[in-house]
Each structure stands twice: as structure tokens, then as C-alpha cells.
A and B are shown apart, each in its own frame.
Chain A
Amino acid sequence: MFQLERSKALVQEADGSSPFDGVDTHYLALSALDHMMEATTISMGSMSSEVLQHVADTAARMRPGLTSTQAQRVATAVLDALDNKANKHREFEAEYFDAPSASMRMFRFRLVQFQPDPQDVYRYTPTAEGYLVYLGMLDLSPEDSQELMEKMLDLLVRRGRFEAALDIARRARKLSIEFRQLISDKLQQAYRAPSSVNWSKEMQGRLAEARKHVGDRQAEDFRMEQAVGDALHEATELRTRENLVQLRETLRGAGDIRMKLVRDISASNELFIAAQKAAFRARRPMGLPDLESTIFPNVMQLHSPVLLAEADNFLCALYPPQPLKVFDLNTAFTILRETRTDDTPPAEDEGELEQFIPVPDPFPKALVDETRNWLAAKFDTDATWQADFLLELAREDGLSAAAQRCLVFILYQSFAQSENTFEGMAARKSGKEFILDFVRGDNLEFFKKDGQ
């Protein structure tokens, strides 16, 4: 907006001074501003005679045929235009549309100011707006002009012109803000219409520049602060000290703004990607009628057979792809035919081998024979024997425990006729149960068979 105002203003000026054919009044005006600006680095600005001389010289160079009187007239006209003499040195006015308040607004500004310096010499200096015109017309990027400001500032501090330094420091700070604005504007544009900004080509370069700018400025600022600090140390006059303190504050303010700029720069890539993501979604509208009011009623009027025939077309589009089912016959067969490997892995520890110790025969042949002979001797002597009596007898006769147990087995073996080893003897159950310390059971009675 500022820029626009500037150009408007200048067009007006150019029109106003058009009688001077062959002379680029635009250039002259800017040249005058340039001259004043340069002068501010040394003093508070340039005196009117200096400006006039400068402009006249430039005009003469531009058109060698110009007489010195003509050149002077051109110069006067240019300076007057800058100063808005035609309007009685009033401020320039421009209308513009203010979006937030939705109304036309008046913007008033001056390009140059004619002020007395401390020595009471009236000098021309460009105003803030003047600077903008100058920068805008030179198509100078803010960071370049800021560099310029810093240089001037440096010079002023070294020369001890603190008031002017403070003024310039403020402008430099303003430029930092502008630079930040530029980046965020670009980001905003990238965000709103990513296709209009080629990030890697355009913005990466700009961001790199911005980073460099911040780095350089930071170093420069540090140096400046140091210089101001030193000056503050040496300064004794109250007003000078006040100015110096303000200067330092302004410098720090600029530093803060640049910190924010750094943050903007580092976040900008992500912001841009987010913007692109949003853009990826941006499609042209489908152009289909509304589902509920138009499509659905029509679909519902379809006859069931048609509806069912067409349904799959819709359903397969509505549902995400389903993984293949296992119920497919081929797959089922494959699974069924698969031989399963053992689920549990074989134990790695195979254990230890132990020697097999055979259990000793509880009744060796000698023992069985001995017991048998003893029993056979008993059977020979009497006709009838009770099993419990025989066992008691065996204990009394001093048979070993093993022999007694063996006797039990022999007796019970003999109960079955088929296995009876004693000829002529038979056995029958004698009713009562007997209990001894090592055996219990139904009592048996052995007797001689009839006829023997």
C-alpha cells in the first residue's frame, strides 16, 4: 500500500513537471532524495542550495543542451514537487481503501522535511516516507537498505551524533519489521496458493538470504551495541547519555524482532508443507447432485431386482478392499495338505544314562525248593493242615522271613487244583479270615484226597 502511494505521488510529480522535455523528473526526484540521504550520514541533511545544485548538475548531465538557468529551474521544480510547493507545502494526500474498516481513508505524508539543524542551518532530510519512496523506486530490498542504515548509524555513533543515530536506529528497526513482514507475506501467499510459489526455487533462496541477513545484522548489532556502550561510558552530558540509552534500547528492540524473524524462518518450511498438504486436498467440486435430495430418491425407486443387480457396483466402491478370504477352495486345500511341523522343539538336554540294576529275584530256586521240601514233609505226616497253622509252624521252625513269604505263595498256588504241586493233596476254603503280621487272607485247609 505504501509502495502504491509512493508511485502515485511520483506520477503526480512527474506530470507536474512534464514541461521539461527530455528530462527524467522521476530520476531527478529520486536523485534529490538520494542526495539528502547521503547527506544525513554526515550532517542532518543537505541545505537547499546543495540539493538544487546537485539536481541541476544531474539534469545538465542528462541533457547536455540545458543551460545553467534552465537546469536551475528544473532543479527548483523538482525540489518544489518533493516539497509539495504547489499545495503550499502541505502534506501530500492520498486516498486508499482500508479493508478492516471498509472505508476510504486519507493518508497524509511528506517526502522531505526542511528543518534547522543544531547549528540553525536549514537542511532538507527525507522523511520515513521519503526513504520508502527511495527504496521502493530503486527496487532495493529491505535488507540492503537496512545495511545502508547500519552503515550510517555506525558512522554517526563514531562521530558522536547520537541524536541522529537514534533516529536512524529507529528506522533500521522499522526495516527489520518490514523484512519480517516480507517473509510472512510470502509464507501467507504460499499458504493460500501454494502453486503460485515455487518453494525450493524461490523461497529457499530468500530464506537463505534472510538467514544471512539475520546473521550479519546480529554481528553488526553486537558491534553497534558495543560502540554505543563505549560511548555511554565516556559520555558525561545528560542529554547525550539519554540518547545513547535510547539508542541501545532501540538496537535491542531490533534484535528482538530479528529473533522473531529467525523463528519465522525456521518454521516456514513446515508451514509451507502444511500449506501444500492443504492444497493437495483442493479439488474441483464433484458436480454431482446432492445425495439426500436427488440421488437417494431415484435409487429408492429402482425395482428390487435392478437395485440388487446394481448394488455390488456401489458396495464395492463404498467398502475398502477386503483381504482375500481363506474359504477359497484352493486355499483351504493347501492349508489342509500342509504337514504341520512339531510345535514344541525337542529338549536339548538329553539326560544321563544310568546303569540298569536288575531287581533281585525275591525267591531264588534254592529257597523255593527248601520251603517246598519242608511243606512236603509236613503234608506227609498228617492228613489235614490249616494254612495259618502251617505258617505259625514255619515261624516256630525258624524259617527265614523270605521262606515264610515263599510258603504263602506255595500254599495259595496249591489251592488251584491245576497248579497243585503236591500229589494227593487238595485244598478248600475254610471260612474264617486269618491275619498274621505279613499276610492276611481267607484261610485254607489242606487235606488228603479220598482214596489215598
Chain B
Amino acid sequence: MNGPEPSVKNAATLIYKALQTSLTTAGDTEYRELAALFRVDASFRRTCEDVATGFTLQIIDASELRGLVLVPESKDSRFAVRLGDIRAHGMEQPHRAALVLAHVSICAAFFPTSDSLDDDSLIPPPVTIATCRDTLYSLAQRLKDANPLPADIPLDLAPGWEAVCALPQTLRESVRAAPSSGAGIVKIALNQMVEGGLVRLDRGTEDDPQASYTATHRLRVQLREIALRRLFEMAQLCTARR
């Protein structure tokens, strides 16, 4: 069998294909062969890494089964997704904070412990919007009970849990993902993550409150390799301030 050559062109092709998150190696022979080459040929791997670095990207995982997993090097990368890209333009500051926390709560609902992230054989069970919402609210409520705030503190300057607690958990007649309720914000985050190929709609439709979501391999890899560490650094800020 004549596989592809470890050329610069092929390295760039591989990066190009990996940038298309919806592309799988199962449906693309060239992608599969290039991913296989990436794994066996050290020089080709270095070329690919160079190309990726040039694009301000980082390769965090590679397999023939799932292709390459790329991630922007920093938030300044042109490829980076920022809060402003996630429907957060018109949102008020507390809502935006809640949206960030909703993301974390979804990740926590799928992978509560580091072991569950580490162990590839452990498939996290599907979660519903309610699971994520409850993860978010129960923690926020607990923190609120633990440290009562002075009543006059503006919401914009309050800790994140206050922003969550200030939101109604769910609105009676809201079906669409709206930023005015906790469930709505979780839904915005989930929709965005579906779009990014991080979670998959498992059962039901988007508008169904019973819809369940499953984590993709990509979510696990991104969390494990890089995102969790960034979160940890954020958490360090909190302990440092105390």
C-alpha cells in the first residue's frame, strides 16, 4: 500500500482537514491516511506541528479513528472562540457570567472527577438540561448560603454564584434558549457546544425539555488536555484573592 508522503503539503492538508470539526476520518480516506502517517512518522508529525503553530493552533490529540484535535493556542488566536461569539453580545454582564458558569456546569455534569476524564473506557452517561441546571444552581445556592453578601452590592460586582442565583431557574413559557432563565442559559451553552462538536444531541429535539446530550470524544480531550488546566488557573485566582 502506498500511503501519502510526509510532505509539507500533506501536513498542511491534514491541518486543514482537522480544522473542519465536522469531518471524520471514517468518511475521508485521505484524512485517515494522513492521521495514520502523523502517528507513525516523527518527521511528518513535526512538520504538522510547525504548520499548526504557524496558524496559532496546537495539536492536542491524534488518532486514526478520530483524526486530529486542534485547539487555538491562546484567546488571541484568530481561531479562538470568545464569549462575544456565543450569542453574548446583547447580554447583560450577570447573564454573561452565568453563561460561562453554565459551560463549566455542563463539563462538570459530564466529567465530575479527574478520574472520569482520565479513563477513556468510562463513558459518561447522557445529561439533560435539568441535570446541568441543577449542577449549576445547587452549587450556587450552597455558596450563597455559606457566605451571605451585604445587601447593597451591585450585581455586576458580585461573585458568580450571585449572578446565577439572581436568575429564575426556568420560565414557564420559554421554549427557546433565552438568556433570561437559568435553563435558557444552559440551553444556549449546550446549543453552542453541539455546534462546536463537543456534545451531541442524544435523544429528543432541541426544544424538548427532556432532551438528553452526550459528550463527544472531543469534549473529553479538550477538557483533559487543556481546558481543565485553564479552569484550574482561574480557580487559583480565587484562592489567591482570599
Do most interface residues of chain B lie in helix, strand or loop, or is the interface mixed? helix
- Judged by a CB distance under 8 angstroms, whether A291 is at the interface is yes
CA distance A277 to B72 in the complex (A): 25
- Chain A residues within 8 Å of B163, by CB: 304
B239 on the A face (CB < 8 A):
yes
Q: Are B159 and A301 in contact (CB under 8 A)?
A: yes
Q: How far is the CA of A293 from the CA of B57 in the complex (A)?
A: 31
Is the Cβ of B234 less than 8 Å from the Cβ of A310?
yes
Q: Which of B19, B103, B105, B239 contacts A315 (CB 8 A)?
A: B103
Q: Name the segment of A42-50, A319-327, A340-348 touching the other chain.
A: A319-327
A313-B118 in contact given A296-B104, A300-B140 (Cβ < 8 Å):
no
Report A214 CB to chain B, min CB distance, Å. Answer: 25
Verify if B161 is at the interface (C-beta below 8 Å from A): yes
**Inter-chain residue pair count (beta carbon < 8 A):** 202
- The residues of A that contact B86 with a CB separation of less than 8 Å are 315
- Partner of A320 from the list B155, B197, B230 (CB cut-off 8 Å) is B197
A345 to B236, CA, bound (A): 64
Q: Which residue of A lies closest to B229 (CB)?
A: A288
- At the interface, yes or no: B8 with Cβ under 8 Å from chain A? no
Q: Does A318 contact B (CB under 8 A)?
A: yes
CB-defined interface of B76-120 with A at 8 Å, one 1/0 digit per residue? 011111110110000001101100110111011001111101101
Query: Which of B72, B159, B160, B235 sits near A295, CB closer than 8 Å?
Result: B235
A residues 279-320 near B (Cβ < 8 Å) are 280-281, 283, 285-308, 310-320
Instruction: Please tell me if the beta carbons of B160 and A307 are within 8 angstroms of each other in the complex.
Output: yes
Query: Is B101's CB under 8 angstroms from A324's CB?
Result: no
Cβ of A322 to closest chain B Cβ, rounded Å: 5
Q: Which residues of the partner chain B approach A299 to less than 8 Å between Cβ atoms?
A: 101, 104, 160, 231, 234-235, 238
**Contact present for A291 and B19 (CB under 8 Å):** no
Q: Would you call A295 and B232 a contact (CB within 8 A)?
A: yes
The answer to whether A301 and B227 have CB atoms under 8 Å apart is no
Residues in A whose Cβ lies below 8 Å from that of B82? 312, 315-316
Cβ < 8 Å to A, chain B residues 57-85:
57, 63-65, 69-72, 74-75, 77-83, 85
Q: Provide the residues of chain B in CB contact with A307, threshold 8 Å.
A: 97, 100-101, 160, 234
Asked if A291 contacts B143 (CB within 8 A), the reply is: no
**Interface size on A (CB < 8 Å)?**
43
Report yes or no: A304 in contact with B222, Cβ–Cβ below 8 A: no
CA distance A283 to B119 in the complex (A): 10
**A320 B77 Cβ-Cβ under 8 A:** no
Question: Are A291 and B111 touching (Cβ within 8 A)?
Answer: yes
Q: Does B24 contact A (CB under 8 A)?
A: no
Chain B residues near A323: list those with CB within 8 A.
19-20, 79
Which residue of chain B is the closest to A294 with respect to CB atoms? Answer: B235
| A277 touching B114 in the complex, CB below 8 Å, given contacts A288-B232, A314-B231 | no
* Of B75, B93, B108, B111, the contact of A308 (CB 8 Å cutoff): B93
Given the complex of chains A and B, what is the CA–CA distance between A320 and B224 in angstroms?
Answer: 14
Q: Which of A296, A308, A315 contacts B81 (CB 8 A)?
A: A315
Among A281, A283, A316, the residue within 8 A (CB) of B74 is A316
Q: What is the bound-complex CA distance between A308 and B95, given in angstroms?
A: 10
| Chief secondary structure at chain A's binding surface | helix
A300 and B69 contact, CB distance less than 8 A? no
Compute how far the CA of A308 lies from the CA of B111 in the bound complex, rounded to whole angstroms.
23
The CA of A317 and the CA of B163, in the complex, are separated in Å by: 23
Contacting pair B63 A312 (CB below 8 A): no
A286 touches B100 (CB 8 A): no
Task: Please tell me if the beta carbons of B198 and A303 are within 8 angstroms of each other in the complex.
Answer: no
B57:A288 contact, CB within 8 angstroms: no
A324 to B81, CA, bound (A): 10
How far is B44's CA from A297's CA once the two chains are assembled, in angstroms? 42
Asked whether, in the complex, the Cβ of B218 is within 8 Å of the Cβ of A301, the reply is no
Instruction: Name the distance in Å between A269's Cβ and chain B's nearest Cβ.
Output: 13
Q: Which residue of chain A lies nearest to B218 when distances are taken between CB atoms in the complex?
A: A320
The complex places the Cα of A399 from the Cα of B153 at a distance, in Å, of 110
CB contacts (< 8 Å) of B85 on chain A: these are 322
> In angstroms, how far is the closest chain A Cβ from the Cβ of B97?
4
B228 within 8 A of A: yes
Further pairs besides A292-B108, A301-B159, A304-B93: 14, Cβ < 8 Å: A288-B228, A291-B117, A295-B235, A297-B143, A298-B238, A300-B104, A304-B94, A305-B156, A308-B93, A310-B237, A315-B81, A316-B74, A318-B103, A322-B196
* Top 6 A-B residue pairs of the complex, sorted by shortest distance between their CB atoms: A321-B79, A298-B235, A316-B80, A292-B112, A319-B81, A312-B75
Could you tell me which A residues sit within 8 Å of B by CB distance? Answer: 277, 280-281, 283, 285-308, 310-324
- Please list 19 pairs of residues, one from A and one from B, whose beta carbons are closer than 8 Å in the complex, sorted by A's number: A286-B118, A291-B112, A291-B223, A291-B228, A291-B231, A293-B112, A295-B228, A307-B101, A312-B75, A313-B233, A315-B103, A316-B74, A316-B77, A319-B192, A320-B197, A321-B19, A323-B20, A323-B79, A324-B79
Q: Which residues of B contact A (CB under 8 A)?
A: 19-21, 39, 57, 63-65, 69-72, 74-75, 77-83, 85-86, 93-94, 96-97, 100-101, 103-105, 107-108, 111-115, 117-118, 120, 135, 139-140, 142-143, 155-161, 163-164, 192-193, 196-198, 218, 222-224, 226-239
